[in-house]
Amino acid sequence: MNRTDDRLTTLIGAPATHMAGDLPLTLVDEHAHAWSPAEARTRFRAGLAGPTAGVAAGHTQVNLISLPADWAYDMMQFCLRNPKACPVLDVTDPGDRTTVLADGADLRTDLPRYRVWRDGELVDEPTDVRGYWRDDLVTFLIGCSFTFEWALSGAGVPLRHIEQGRNVPMYTTGRQCRPAGRLRGPLVVSMRPVPPEHLAAAIRESSLLPAVHGSPVHCGDPASLGIDDLGRPDFGDPVDLEPDDIPVFWACGVTPQAAVMASRPPFALTHAPGQMFLTDARDEQYRVA
């Protein structure tokens, strides 16, 4: 995969009403595709922050959400009812900061950046949440579409956000997820522009990885999803489309964050959009054919 040589400082987008101040983040460097997952986690634990698209080639990336144990059943039910957006790869016991997906990892420190939520409001975006950790937190690790980008690239599908050194754009849609208990909220999607001649390959390759969102939920007119302007993503960065590109939308693991905003649990921790947890699992483990 081609990586941009110009590694600039960038700002990860967020809904205007939920920003916790301006947070300039450094994109991971051009050699990050060759890092092992353990090396990536070590660098993030030391304070490196930025989008993880293209990091640790061939290894599965996951979204993270931690909720108090008395909300865990609602979240599990929400994930089961909305599997395209929330494909669960692991769930921890209350207070457990480890996962079978990454030997020796610490879920409190090993992501590039986190988000801290109180009553549905974003209150902080730290690189370490040890100071916020609670013994009653249950963590859900949810498949991420960054995982299938290696399959897309291998099939010749261009990845505009990586070419342009940007975070993938994500949008809150007009489609509501199926509610579960106290949790409700809209579907969030990620968008990748795809040239027409590569569309079949993009659909085929992503559909073979259902544990990381699988096939697109929509191709073409963004208005069909209630998206007014591709140039104004709700999360991530806008990406420039080539003249013939088709916008292709996949269900996104930021959907649980939208549910947190809508449902307002008293406390939650999540990953910052586009800044995922790197696991030791290999992408091919989740390929169905």
Asked if 115 and 269 touch (Cβ cutoff 8 Å), the reply is yes
* Closest to 276 (Cα-Cα) out of 64, 43, 54, 35: 64
Show the DSSP H helices in 31-187 as ranges: 37-45, 69-81, 149-154, 160-163
3-state secondary structure at position 251: strand
Q: Which residue has the tokens 């809209």?
A: 186
Other beta carbons within 10 angstroms of residue 282's beta carbon come to: 13
pLDDT tens string for the chain (289 positions)? 332 222 222 222 333 223 333 333 344 566 888 899 999 999 999 999 988 988 998 899 999 999 999 999 999 999 999 999 999 999 999 999 999 999 999 999 999 999 999 999 999 999 999 999 999 999 999 999 988 898 899 999 999 998 998 889 999 999 999 999 999 999 999 999 999 999 999 999 999 999 999 999 999 999 999 999 999 999 999 999 999 999 999 999 999 999 999 999 999 999 999 899 999 999 889 999 7
- 3-class DSSP state for residue 13? coil
Cα 48 to Cα 36: distance, rounded to the nearest angstrom: 15
- β-sheet bridge partners, residue 269: 66, 116
Domain boundaries, the chain: 34-141+263-284, 147-251
- CA pair distance 115, 129, nearest whole angstrom: 9
**Fold held by 34-141+263-284:** PSTPO5379-like (3.40.1640)
User: Helix 69-81 to helix 255-263 angle, to the nearest 10 degrees?
Assistant: 130
Give the fold, CATH level 3, of 147-251: PSTPO5379-like fold (3.30.2040)
Report how far Cα 119 is from the mean position of its chain's Cα atoms: 22
